[in-house]
A = this chain, B = another copy of it.
Amino acid sequence: MERRHKTKWVAVALFLIFPLFSFAQTAEKDHLSKPRALEMQFDSHLNRDNLRNWMKRLSARPHHVGSPYGKENAEFMAAQFKSWGYETEIETFHVLFPTPKTRVLEMIAPVKFTPTLSEPPLKEDATSNQTNEQLPVYNAYSVDGEVTGELVYVNYGVPRDYEELEQRGIDVKGKIVIARYGGSWRGIKPKVAAEHGAIGCLIYSDPRDDGYFQGEVYPKGAYRNERGAQRGSVADMPLYPGDPLTPSIGATKDAKRLPIKEAPTLTKIPVMPISYSDARPLLQALGGPVAPESWRGALPITYHLGPGPAKVRLKLEFNWNIAPAYDVIARIKGSEYPDEWIIRGNHHDAWVNGADDPISGMVATMEEARAIGELVKTGWKPKRTIIYCAWDAEEPGLLGSTEWAEAHADELKNKAVIYINSDSNGRGFLGMGGSHTLEKFINQVARDVVDPQKQISVADRTRAWRIVRGSPEDRKEARDRNDLRIYALGSGSDYTPFLQHLGVASLNLGYGGEDGGGSYHSVYDSFDHYTRFGDPDFDYGLALAQTAGRAVLRLADAEVLPFEFTNFAETVAKYAKEVAKLADDMREETEEKNRRIQEKTLEAAADPKETYLVPLPQAPVPFLNFAPLQNAVSRLQQSARDYDRSASHFAANGQALPAEKKKALNAILMKTERALTRSDGLPRRPWFIHQIYAPGFYTGYGVKTLPAIREAIEQRNWQEANEQVEIVARVIQGFADEIDRAAAVVAAATN
Which chain A residues have a beta carbon within 8 Å of chain B's beta carbons? 207, 212-217, 221, 223, 290, 296, 298-302, 428, 453-454, 456, 460-461, 463-465, 467-469, 514, 596, 601-605, 607-609
Contacts and interface: CB of A to CB of B under 8 A. Distances in A.
Number of copies of this kind of chain in the complex: 2
A44 to B, nearest CB: 25
Given A465-B605, A468-B596, 18 more contacts: A213-B296, A213-B302, A214-B290, A215-B290, A216-B290, A216-B302, A223-B302, A298-B298, A300-B300, A454-B603, A454-B604, A454-B608, A456-B604, A463-B604, A464-B602, A468-B601, A468-B602, A469-B605
B302 A212 contact: yes
Given A467-B596, A468-B596, A514-B609, A604 B461 contact: yes
A685 B601 CA distance: 44
Given A467-B596, A596-B467, A605 B461 contact: yes
Q: Pick the most buried of A468, A469, A514, A605: most chain B CB atoms within 10 A of its CB.
A: A605
Contact of A607 (B301, B467, B514, B608): B514
Contacts of A608: 453-454
A329 to B, nearest CB: 38
Given A290-B215, A296-B213, A468 B605 contact: yes
Nearest to A287: B216
A453 B605 CA distance: 11
A207 to B, nearest CB: 7
Contacts of A602: 464, 468
A602 B463 CA distance: 11
Given A300-B298, A302-B217, A302-B221, A464 B605 contact: yes
Contacts of A469: 605
A593 to B, nearest CB: 11
A456 B599 CA distance: 13
Contacts of A456: 604
14 contacts: A207-B300, A212-B301, A213-B296, A214-B302, A300-B300, A456-B604, A461-B604, A464-B601, A464-B604, A464-B605, A467-B601, A468-B596, A468-B605, A514-B607
A465 B221 CA distance: 45
Nearest to A607: B514
A290 B7 CA distance: 15
Contacts of A460: 604
Contact of A299 (B300, B601, B603): B300
Contacts of A468: 596, 601-602, 605
Q: Pick the most buried of A300, A456, A603: most chain B CB atoms within 10 A of its CB.
A: A300
**Cβ-closest 6 pairs across A and B:** A464-B604, A464-B605, A468-B605, A300-B300, A464-B601, A465-B605
Contacts of A463: 604
A359 B578 CA distance: 55
Contacts of A221: 302
Nearest to A226: B300
A603 B464 CA distance: 9
A439 B290 CA distance: 36
A465 B601 CA distance: 8
A695 to B, nearest CB: 28
Contacts of A464: 601-602, 604-605
Contacts of A605: 461, 464-465, 467-469
Nearest to A608: B453
Contacts of A299: 300
A554 to B, nearest CB: 25
A294 to B, nearest CB: 12
